[in-house]
Structures are given as C-alpha cells and as structure tokens.
Structure 1
Amino acid sequence: MSAEAKPTSVSRSIKTMLVFPGDTNYHGTMFGGNLMKYIDEICVIAAMRHCGRRVVTASTDSLDFKSPVYMGEAVELEAFVSWTGRTSMEIYCIVRAENLERGERRTTVTCFNTFVAVDENGKPAEVPKVVPETEVEKKLYASAPERAERRRNRREEQFYIDE
C-alpha cells in the first residue's frame, strides 16, 4: 500500500545558476545538452522529495527551446511532481533565463519528465499520490492522463534496429 498523498509543494525544487563561458557554445548561448542535464538533475530531486526513494528516468517529453540562454545570464530551473501513477511520477519543469542587469526574465523551456521509483533491488516501487494546490498545478494534473496515454502509445510505436 502506498503512502499518504503529498501536496505538490513537497516536491517543488528550484536551482539557479550563472551561465559562464564554459557553459556556452560558439553562439554565446548555453549548450542545450548541458541544460538537458540540469533539467534531469532538478527533476530527480523533485521526484525523490515526493517519493522518498531512488528514481530512474523513464522518459523526457519534447524539449522545445523557446528562447536561448546567454552567457552572463542567470538560469533558473523549477520542477515539481505534477501527476503520479502507481510507480511513476510526471515531473513538470520550467526553465527561465534572467538578464540580471536589466531585471528581465523569460521562459526558455518547459517539459515533462517521467520517473519511476525503485526499491533497493532496482524494482519499481509504489509512490504516493500527489495533490495539486495552485490553479496551474490543477490544470497540469487534469491534463496528465492524456499525456501519459501519448507516452504509452509512443513506447508501443518505437522500433529498434539491431546491428
């Protein structure tokens, strides 16, 4: 039997950092791969805060880069559990860039990642349900079953080429 349901605020995780030259490509913008790594890390923290267990990444929905993050800007990643299945958790992540000199902030990326909680043997483990608190969280929660169905369909449609 799974633990008592937890509010979204329990899992909310935020990471903010400066973008330095080593984080950027030859355009002077943050490497997309680095940002993807940071997204996965903040989502792991949110998932573990919710379930209190180790987790593994099951999927990342499309990452659409709406706006670049420039060298010298701050980048803020915010993640929280938006929905749960029996052993899986959907994590919503929003990435914002901020020009600290002008005080201008903008959304650069949003995405959903799915994580599965695992026990000490690496087997899937039940997770607590999540209780959305804000209107945005309630909208994300209500639309989550449709996204979960799309993920299931996508997994069934995938094929692998053996060499």
Structure 2
Amino acid sequence: MNMDAKKASESLVVMNELVLPNDTNTFENLMGGRLMYWMDIAGAMSAARHCNSPCMTASVDNLSFKNPIKIGNIVHIEAKLTRAFNTSMEINIKVWGEDSLHQYRYESNEAYFTFVALDPNNRPRKVPQVIAETPEEQEQYVGALRRRQLRLILAGKMSPDDATELRALFVPSKENL
C-alpha cells in the first residue's frame, strides 16, 4: 500500500440527495437517522479515497441539527479528511439544505466522524498522513488532535492526565504563571 502523505483536498467527497416522502417525518422534515446514514456513506467514501482500503465507522462526534431540511429540498453533503493518525482518520462532514424553488442554500449540520482503515483480514491498517494546505485545513488539522483526545477520554481509552494537547487549553503552563 502506498503510504505517501496525501493532500486533504484529495479526500473531498461531495454527495447530493433529494428529500423524498419516504425520507421524512410527520413534519415533512428529513429524518435525522436518514441524514446520518447519508453522512456515514460520504465519510466512508472520503476515508476510503484517502487510504485506498475499506474503512469502518469508529465514532461520530456531536451531531447538532441547526436547520431542518424539508421535503423536496436537496441535501448537499461535503466530507473531507482533517487528519490521519495511525490507523484512524477524522473526517469533517458539512451538510447544507438547498431550496431550489426559492433558490437559496442554508446550513443544516456538521459533525466529525472517525473511520478506521481495514486490511484484507478486517484488522486495522496504517493510513497515509494528511497534508493540510489551506488555512481552514490547517486549523482543522491542529484541532483534530484535541478532538481525538477528548473522544478517547470519553470512551475510557485515555486518562485525562495523558491528554496533553487538550489539557493545554484548560491548565495554564508553569511558564505562564
């Protein structure tokens, strides 16, 4: 497998779906579970594009619903890697609704998904690193380590004392005292 680092932009996946009656609840809004399903697909494609292997979802961070997407509107999903670790990758997924009739686009959701690359035996495999080029990609890249540490603490896989990047946000260093 090629382990050369890849640009974050190379992992970009853009997906569009039309909200049909079977996708909605009694308020004629897109069901949250259906949106999460579509986001998971976009994230999996982005992860697989980055590492050239099958991937599985390991976690989903806070998924907040800013604005509902109505029946007949278009769902626009963009997924892109923010950072790769050893065998896992963090992917930022942004969602917009698009009202074609009134010709406007609006924010709906955003979340961070974590995927793990799998080898032919369905065991975790190493992934290429990410090259963050734009200021937004660089900001996402830096923040990814703190988000990862928080995920690991919440999952009971890391002690808060070991989360040095995360602690630096809350505990002043001795030099600053």
* Structure 1 match to 2:132: 132
TM-score by length of 1: 0.93
Distance in 2, Cα, partners of 1:23 & 1:120: 34
Q: Which amino acid aligns with 2:118?
A: V
SS of 1:34's partner is: helix
Does 1:115 find its partner at 2:115?
Answer: yes
Which structure 2 residues correspond to residues 1-163 of structure 1 after superposition, within 5 A? 3-156=3-156
In structure 2, distance between residues paired with 1:8 and 1:100: 30
CA contact (8 A) 1:2 1:126 kept: no
5+ residue gaps, structure 2, are 158-177
Task: Give deviations 1:141-161, integer Å, cap 9, x for gaps.
Answer: 11111000000001108xxxx
Q: Which protein shows a greater Rg? A: 2
* Structure 2 letter corresponding to 1:124: P
1:88 positional shift: 0.3
Matched to 2:96, the amino acid is R
Letter in structure 2 aligned against 1:70: K
Q: Percent identity?
A: 36
Distance 1:117 1:109, change over 3 A: same
Q: How big is the alpha-carbon RMSD for the aligned residues of Structure 1 and Structure 2?
A: 1.3
**TM-score calculated relative to the size of structure 2:** 0.86
For 1:156, what is the secondary structure of its paired residue?
Answer: coil
| Higher relative contact order, structure no. (Cα contacts within 8 Å, ≥ 6 residues apart) | 1
Provide the rounded CA distance (Å) in 1 between the counterparts of 2:38 and 2:79.
11
Deviating beyond 4 angstroms after TM superposition, the runs of 4 or more aligned structure 1 residues are: none
Cα deviation 1:76-113 (Å, max 9, x = unaligned): 01001111101000010000001112221111000000
SS at structure 2 position matched to 1:82: strand
What is the CA deviation profile of residues 30-50 of structure 1, one whole-angstrom value per residue up to 9, with x for unaligned ones? 010000000100000000000
